[in-house]
Amino acid sequence: SQTIHQWPATLVQPVGSPLSLECTVEGTSNPNLYWYRQAAGRGLQLLFYSVGIGQISSEVPQNLSASRPQDRQFILSSKKLLLSDSGFYLCAWRMSADTEAFFGQGTRLTVV
């Protein structure tokens, strides 16, 4: 069966520090991968998606970037965190637009 792992679960980082959040999927090949952010009172917003290795699309301009160095690995990064980057970050995967989407357990990021 397929599983999705996301780490770390919680992270407290100072403003201006770098960020790296990692997500891996097991039990499937060539999934579509997604990074969403859930900010308080604002619902879930898609940040990045990837349909293949090295293929990254950004949905909103921001201080973050994403990479997909391997088929089942998706990384969310920042060179210098801002206070506004605080939030709950969720990784997700699905095989295609007409299949079920699955989410990881999320990372709570607090920028101080």
Partner 1 sequence: KQEVTQIPAALSVPEGENLVLNCSFTDSAIYNLQWFRQDPGKGLTSLLLIQSSQREQTSGRLNASLDKSSGRSTLYIAASQPGDSATYLCAVTPGSSNTGKLIFGQGTTLQVKP
Smallest gap from residue 16 Cβ to partner 1 (A)? 26
Site string for partner 1, 51-80 (x = CB under 8 A): x-----x-x---------------------
Spatial separation of the C-alpha atoms in residues 32 and 23, rounded to whole Å: 12
Task: Indicate the residue among 15 and 105 with the shorter CB distance to partner 1.
Answer: 105
- Near partner 1 by CB under 8 A: residue from 34, 68, 75, 78: 34
Q: For residue 69, which amino acid is it?
A: P
Q: Does 96 bind partner 1 (CB under 8 A)?
A: yes
**Do residues 26 and 38 lie in contact, with contact meaning Cβ atoms separated by under 8 Å?**
no
Q: For residue 82, what are its two tokens? A: 């801002």
Q: Which of residues 15, 105, 110, 112 is near partner 1 by CB under 8 A?
A: 105
The Cα-based distances of 102 to 13, 14, 25, 44, 73 in angstroms read: 27, 31, 10, 14, 15
Pairing of strands 87-94, 65-70: unpaired
Any bridge partners for residue 19, and if so which?
78
Task: Pick between residue 8 and residue 16 the one whose CB is nearest to partner 1.
Answer: 8
Q: Which residues bind partner 1 (CB under 8 A)?
A: 6, 32, 34, 36, 43-44, 46, 49, 51, 57, 59, 90, 92, 94, 96-106, 108
